[in-house]
Structure 1
Amino acid sequence: MDRVTSMAVFVRSVDGGSLAAAARHFGLSHAMVSKHLRGLEQSLGVRLLTLTTRKLALTEAGDNYYRRCLQILADIEDANREAMQLQAVPRGPLRLTAPVAFGEQYLAPVLVDFLERYPEIVLDIELTDRFADLAGEGFDLALRIGRLPDSSLVARRLGASRMLTCAAPAYLARHGTPAHPSELAAHRCLYLNGVTTPGEWWYEVDGSQVTVRVDGPLRSNSVALACQSARQGLGIVFGPAFALEPSVAKGDLVPVLAGFSSGALDIHALYLSKRHMSKKLRLLIDFLASRFSRPVGTDAV
């Protein structure tokens, strides 16, 4: 007898509370259902069910076997579903969210290429610097840069973004240019919540990474707001290169501490579950991983 079919008959008998329930579900005779169950018990060498004229009950071995059968049958169903999806053209909507500056400068051209490859997929994109609630707001995917809060979400690393330390020429003219990370304590520093640990920046000094305590008049979760504040001379900003380099290119900001590497921040894709991931979502994540395999920003490492 087919073992998987026998397991399915066993589970249906337990769920339905009788052999008759399994017989009706599978279109089998009562005798054939009994044959499936006897075959399982004989092959396992244990008693799975206790049968009376009025009641069906699981033995201890049967209860354990029932739970394992549920998982095995679910895995088989998932495998069949995935196999069928591979034959289907990926189509339909995907909702994703990403940081504003990263989305506008780096993500947009990548998604255009993705849609050209998979024209039946429709992307619904929200660019925001806040941490959206994937389940509550109906997002399939979120891109995050920097520290990840503790959550039940699945995270896959896609790549990294270089970090830069910058200030406006006017600020440096008034307050001087720091020559060493330790001198930042005497400066007005603008830092990003959710990207770095509040009040802490890091640099490589003499071959070792050191953490520098900083303080200043502005804390924000918005890269754009911090960048604009730095351009207006409010202080020194430490943030992802992709957000700061356009202002550097225009001369609105000047890199400082260029001789001290700040490493990179990880870029992650966050989603709800590996178990029930659709083919189109898996394709998108794999595509993003391939395109962001090199660090984003100037002086990529």
Structure 2
Amino acid sequence: MDKLNAISIFCKIVETQSFTQAATQQNMSVAMASKLLSQLEEHLKTRLLQRTTRKIMPTEAGMMYYQRCQGILQDLDEADASISNMTTTLQGNLLISVPRDFGLLFISPNLPMFIAAHPNLHVEVEFNDKKIDLLAEGYDLALRIGYMQDSSLVARKISTSSIHFAASPRYLERFGIPSSPNDLEQHEGLLYKSTLNQVNWQGARLNQTQRFKIKSKVVSNNGLALLDMAKAGLGIVNLPRFILDAAFKTGELVEILPEYKQQELEIHVVYPNRRHLPAKVRAFIEFLTSLGLCSEL
């Protein structure tokens, strides 16, 4: 027995006092309505309706059952409406993970616009370069930079960023400008240390990949810290364009070995593979798109 449909048709029969009208409102045949009511009465071991040629009236047990079931059906309707509302309007919690440097440069300055546009949404943003498990830790979405591995997530590329060698004019005046990768061995390196403890530099020229050796003056897992040290003339950095771009424009840093092209970093927004994407997640992805991030940074 489809108990929920049986209860629904029973309540409609009580309200309309008609099998025909109740069946029409529930989008089923009169025969099906009659069958469901019979199954419900058999399940409860009691008669719920008194039927005459003129009128259909609930029995005493039927009226008591109707009053209890009507409240339950109303609660179910309200529950359906609340869930539907959450998937179509922006409310509830939005938990986001973003890479620290990229997030501080591009997300946090613009986030107030998103929050102001959606005052009923509670936003929690974690700035962390650690690769988190979205499903296990309850995140709605994350931004990731670099190679994508987790096939259980939906990944949408929003931008790419090239990688460049750079140093301050003061450093280059003091130690000279490298004219080839071999020259890097004589220079001080400000190296980015990833979560995989990789600090090697590499690039390509004439379709040949080459690794560059350099002494490590400083090793850090924070690109903005390395940027500050490079501006201060402590050594050569190898960082994404989105970190270096402002310093290139002001002349605080100069690109070196530009002919050695390195693999571009892809920037993705990732989220769990869901049949119905929540409106809050869709809205944040649209917000990212509106920032003009879908171009090279």
Q: Are the aligned partners of 2:220 and 2:226 in contact in 1 as well (CA < 8 Å)?
A: yes
Provide closer, same or farther for how the CA distance between residues 230 and 133 of structure 1 changes in structure 2, counting only shifts above 3 A: farther
196 and 163 in structure 1: CA distance in 2 versus 1, 3 angstrom threshold? farther
How many Å separate the matches in 1 of 2:87 and 2:138? 26
Pair 1:227-2:235 in alignment: no
1:193–1:146: structure 2 CA closer, same or farther, 3 Å change rule? farther
The residue that corresponds to 2:14 in the other structure is none
1:236 — aligned with what? Answer: 236
Query: Is 1:159 the counterpart of 2:159 in the alignment?
Result: yes
Q: 1:31 to 1:185 in 2, by over 3 A?
A: same
Q: Cα 1:159–1:186, aligned 2, differ >3 Å: closer, same or farther?
A: same
The residue identity in structure 1 corresponding to 2:103 is G
The equivalent residue for 2:134 is: 134
> Aligned ranges for residues 1-301 of structure 1 at < 5 Å?
22-27=1-6, 28=36, 84=84, 88-135=88-135, 137-148=137-148, 150=150, 152-194=152-194, 198-206=198-206, 208=207, 210-217=209-216, 218-262=218-262, 264-275=264-275, 277-290=277-290, 291-296=292-297
Change (3 A) 1:186 1:146: farther
> Compared with structure 1, are the counterparts of its residues 220 and 132 closer, same or farther at alpha carbon in structure 2 (3 Å cutoff)?
farther
Gaps of 5+ in 1: 1-21, 33-79, 297-301
Whole-Å Cα distance in 2 between the matches of residues 127 and 202 of structure 1?
27
Q: Deviations over 1:188-230 (max 9, x none)?
A: 3333234999244344423x26242334324332112222332
Check conservation: 1:200, 1:211, Cα contact below 8 A. Answer: no
Query: How far, CA to CA, are the matches of 1:275 and 1:182 in structure 2?
Result: 53
**Deviations 1:246-296, CA, capped at 9 Å, x for gaps:** 334454432212344445311111223333631210221233245311112
Runs of 4+ in 1 over 6 A off after TM superposition: none
Q: Which moved more, 1:84-93 or 1:260-269?
A: 84-93
TM norm structure 2: 0.61
Q: SS where residue 295 of structure 1 aligns?
A: coil
TM-score by length of 1: 0.60
State the AA in 1 paired with 2:215. G
Preserved CA contact (<8 Å) 2:86 2:278: no
Distance in structure 2 (CA, Å) of the matches to 1:159 and 1:195: 22
**Aligned-pair distance for 1:178?**
1.2
Q: Give how far 1:235 is off.
A: 2.5
**Alpha carbons 1:130, 1:221 under 8 Å: kept:** no
1:146–1:267: 8 Å Cα contact kept in structure 2? Answer: yes
Unaligned runs of 5+ in 2: 7-35, 41-79
Q: Give identity over the alignment, percent.
A: 31
Q: In 2 relative to 1, CA 205–176 (structure 1 residues): closer, same or farther, beyond 3 Å?
A: same
Identify which range, 156-165 or 245-254, moves more after superposition.
245-254
Q: 1:133, CA displacement in angstroms? A: 4.4
In structure 1, what residue type is equivalent to 2:190? L
3-state SS of paired residue (1:229)? helix
Q: Distance in 1 between matches of 2:189 and 2:237?
A: 6
Deviates more, 1:245-254 or 1:266-275: 245-254
Report the secondary structure of 2:198's partner residue: coil
Give the Cα–Cα distance (whole angstroms) in 1 for the partners of residues 268 and 121 of structure 2: 22
Q: Which has the larger radius of gyration?
A: 2
Tell me the alpha carbon deviations over residues 116-142 of structure 1, each in whole angstroms, 9 at most, x when there is no partner: 544433322222333344345443222
Distance 1:249 1:96, change over 3 A: same
Q: Distance in 2 between matches of 1:192 and 1:152?
A: 29
Letter in 2 for 1:247: A
